[in-house]
């Protein structure tokens, strides 16, 4: 049974920024293709969240229910249990992931 998927407001802003950037830089056709890839990733997170990659910085702390998956050059970071999947952030692979992760954990809405 699929989990309920929720996206934090802060992650929604990041997602909107990613979509706006892709549309501006690459056009509508690419934007539509990328949106389809995100929809596919969201469905996978709802149905099989354990398939995502463990996050080393959190795995070392014993946190294994927070995972990430890639859509092109953006990591989708999410947490899950048996009922829900919660997307915490969208972060570009070139960003300092550790710094962004800990900043987000401290500033969480």
pLDDT 10s digits, 3-17: 999 999 989 999 999
Number of domains in the chain: 1
- pLDDT tens-digit series, residues 50-63: 999 988 878 888 88
Stated pTM of the model: 0.87
Structural domain of 79: 4-106
Beta strands 4-7 and 84-92, pairing class:
parallel
- pLDDT value at residue 108: 56
3-state secondary structure of 69: strand
CATH number (domain holding residue 40): 3.30.2310.20
Tens of pLDDT, residues 72-89: 999 999 999 999 999 999
Specify the length of the chain in residues.
109
């Amino acid at each position: 049974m699929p989990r309920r998927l929720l996206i934090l407001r802060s992650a929604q802003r990041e997602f909107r920024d990613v979509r706006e950037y892709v549309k501006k830089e690459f056009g509508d056709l690419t934007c539509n293709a990328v949106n389809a890839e995100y929809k596919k990733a969201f469905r996978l997170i709802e149905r099989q969240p354990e398939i995502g990659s463990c996050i080393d910085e959190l795995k070392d702390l014993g946190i294994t229910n927070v995972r990430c998956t890639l859509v092109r050059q953006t990591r989708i970071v999410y947490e899950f249990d048996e009922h829900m999947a919660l997307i915490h952030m969208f972060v570009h692979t070139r960003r300092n992931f550790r710094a962004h992760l800990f900043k987000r954990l401290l500033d969480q809405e």
